[in-house]
Structure formats: structure tokens, C-alpha cells
Amino acid sequence: MATYDFIFDNLGLRDWCGDGGADGGPMSMADLMNQTSGEEATVSAWDTPFPSLDNLHDACEAIPQSRDLTSGLERGFLDIKDSLKVVVDPLTQPLSWALNEMLWLMQSIPWWIMIPLLMLISYAVGRSLKLVALVAICFGFLAFVDYYDYTMQTLAIIFVCAFICVLFGVPIGIAMSRSDRTQRVMIPILDMLQTLPPFVYLIPLIFLFSVTEPKLYGIAIILYAIVPVIRLTDLGIRLVDQDVIEAADAFGMTDRQKLFGVQIPLALPNIMAGVNQTIMMSLAMVVIASLVSAPGLGVLVLRGIRSLELGVGLLSGLGIVLLAIILDRVTKAALARINASQSK
């Protein structure tokens, strides 16, 4: 006898339920033992289970089970997969091209050109010889242990995905800052993107794209990493002093002039902080995306886990840490220069 038989019996829904309840379905061991002993199965109030789909199904077969809900969601997604792919595939194909080209470029340039070039870029951004020395030491070490190609692959993916995050994230953040309605619509979406486990991003994409397509992991990285730059762009523009805005209005500035001449320059420290976090989150997701053929240091981490190669796992993890330190220091140096220029 199922726990919730009384609900359907008292409501006169037993005929609607069909053969469910005490007379239908496989009998549990407890019911079988009670029937053998001639006693009726009873459940104490303390042990009463929650009226979930499965427990209600035990009492009434017309109620679907939990697995019916999950399989229904899967069938629904598979039904619209082809139509969705017709729309999404052409829109995301440029992402595959960009990733392929950047991966080719980063690996084609010889190390004796690439490493000095990265040092030059870090100096142009931070104007610090200590930062340049850090870049040289880290990349030199990774090249010394034969992880140079993997490092360049990871760096190429981060460059492309972080650039796209900034390209789309900053305008979205500006739109949120200029419209409370847009902000109310976007905040739940950003909350969802920020709280979803990283592995969940990969599940629908695996059904949509082949694992050989770079856009599979590219989209997952972008969705995971775009949130900080959107939030901090919105916050930075909203934090601009209203007295400054009123002064701009007094000078007769248009909305476009106020945005590009006043609000964005004053919000730039917050925007750069968002860019920093976006780059860090891109790096974190690149490692997870190695599960779906993303190249780079994440492949070595995955190899260390699968083959129980402790040395490979630890050394590749150290490489990711060094890359994170470099990217973090470079972006923070850029932020420090912006803050210094604004304080003058």
C-alpha cells in the first residue's frame, strides 16, 4: 500500500489513476512481508515521505515520475535541436574561425619572437621592468619544461574569448546603466550564468555542436566569463558622481558626448577590474573545457587525472598558476596606470 493512496481514494480519483496504488505495480519488500504476516503496512508521521512525483506515482500511475520529467526535457531539446542549430551555427561560426586562426598564429611564431613580444606588450601596459622580468621568467620556465606549445594554446583561447567578452560585455553593461528596466531584465540572467556549475554549460553545447568544433568550448568560456565585465561596467557608470553629470549637462553635452567623454573615462577603473576578472574566469573555464577537446594546459591536467600521472598534473597546474599570475599582474598594472592618470 502506497503512502498517499488515501488522497486519490478520498477524492474519488482511483478510476483516473488506473491500476495504481495498492493493487498495481511491483510490491515493495515491506509490503510483501506485511502481507505475508497478515498485517497492513503503516507509516508513522515521522517517516512520512514528501509527496514527490515518485511517491505520488506509487499511489497513482497517472502521475508521471521524476524520470519522465527529465526525459521529457531531453526529448524537447532534441526536437528543437536541428532548428536551433540552423540559427546558432552560422552566428557562432566566426568564433571557430577566430579560435583556429589565433591558435595557428600563437603556435606558428617562433619562441624567440613570441616571448620578447609578450615582454614588450607587458612593458607597454605596465611600464614596469619587474613585470617584464616576471613574464620572461614564467614563460622561460614553461618553455624549459616543454610546456610552451600548451601555454600558447591556452593564451590564444583566452585572448579570443576575453576580447569577445569585452566586446559584448561593455555595451551590455552600458545599456544596463542607462536603463533600469534593462538592468532588471539582465540581473536574473547574469545571476543564473554566474551560479551555474561550469560543467553545466557544456551539456547543451555537446548536443548542438561537434566536439571537434572550437566554438563548442569557446561559447562555454564566453558565457561563463562575461558576467564580471557586464556587472562592473554597469556599476562603474552608475557610480559616476551626479555633480559631474550635471556639469556636463550645463556645458550642453549630448548623451553620446557624456558617455564617451565623461562616464566611460571615470568608470574605466571599474571596467578594467571587470576585464581582470573576466580573464581570470576565462582561464578557469579553459581547464574545464579540456573535457570537450579544448587544447592547452587543461589537456595536461586532464591527462594527469585520467592516467594518475602526479607529476604531469602538478606541473601543468603550476603552469596555469603562473599564467594566471602573469595575466593578473598585467591587467592590474594597466588599472594602476589608469588610476594614476585620473588622480593627476
Q: Is residue 69 situated within a structural domain?
A: no
- In the predicted model, is pLDDT for residue 282 greater than 70? yes
pLDDT more than 90, % of the chain = 57
- In the predicted model, is pLDDT for residue 326 greater than 70? yes
- 54 and 82, same domain (yes or no): no
In this prediction, residue 20 carries a pLDDT of: 45
Phi, psi (degrees; rounded to nearest 5) at 2:
-80, 155
Q: Is residue 235 situated within a structural domain?
A: yes
In this prediction, residue 30 carries a pLDDT of: 52
- 42 and 113, same domain (yes or no): no
- 47 and 126, same domain (yes or no): no
| 4-29 pLDDT per residue, tens | 888 888 888 888 887 544 444 455 55
Phi, psi (degrees; rounded to nearest 5) at 13:
-105, 15
Domain final position from 28, 43, 64? 64
- In the predicted model, is pLDDT for residue 239 greater than 70? yes
- 34 and 107, same domain (yes or no): no
In this prediction, residue 21 carries a pLDDT of: 44
Q: Is residue 18 situated within a structural domain?
A: yes
- 160 and 32, same domain (yes or no): no
Q: Is residue 221 situated within a structural domain?
A: yes
- 9 and 154, same domain (yes or no): no
- 46 and 82, same domain (yes or no): no
In this prediction, residue 59 carries a pLDDT of: 85
In this prediction, residue 340 carries a pLDDT of: 81
The domain spanning residue 335 has which CATH number?
1.10.3720.10
- Are 338 and 272 contacting, i.e. CB atoms less than 8 angstroms apart? yes
Q: Is residue 43 situated within a structural domain?
A: yes
Q: SS3 string of the chain?
A: CCCCHHHHHHCCCHHHHCCCHHHCCCCCHHHHHHHHHCCCCCCCCCCCCCCCHHHHHHHCCCCCCHHHHHHHHHHHHHHHHHHHHHHHHHHHHHHHHHHHHHHHHHHHCCHHHHHHHHHHHHHHHHCCHHHHHHHHHHHHHHHHCCCHHHHHHHHHHHHHHHHHHHHHHHHHHHHHHHCHHHHHHHHHHHHHHHHCCHHHHHHHHHHHCCCCCHHHHHHHHHHHHCHHHHHHHHHHHHCCCHHHHHHHHHCCCCHHHHHHHHHHHHHHHHHHHHHHHHHHHHHHHHHHHHHHCCCCHHHHHHHHHHCCCHHHHHHHHHHHHHHHHHHHHHHHHHHHHHHHHHHC
Q: Which of 4-13, 222-231, 308-317 has the lowest mean pLDDT?
A: 4-13
Domain final position from 16, 39, 64? 64
- In the predicted model, is pLDDT for residue 335 greater than 90? no
Q: What is the dihedral angle through the alpha carbons of 174, 180, 185, 190, rounded to the nearest 10 degrees?
A: 50
Structural domain span for residue 28: 5-64
Residue 49: which pLDDT band, with cuts at 50, 70 and 90?
confident
Dist CA 20 CA 93 (whole Å): 51
Structural domains in the chain (count): 2
- 215 and 337, same domain (yes or no): yes
Domain final position from 36, 64, 92? 64
- 174 and 261, same domain (yes or no): yes
What is the rounded average pLDDT of the residues 110-131? 93
Residue-averaged pLDDT of the chain: 88
Q: Is residue 286 situated within a structural domain?
A: yes
- 172 and 34, same domain (yes or no): no
- 26 and 81, same domain (yes or no): no
In this prediction, residue 232 carries a pLDDT of: 96
Q: Is residue 99 situated within a structural domain?
A: yes
- 278 and 184, same domain (yes or no): yes
- In the predicted model, is pLDDT for residue 42 greater than 80? no
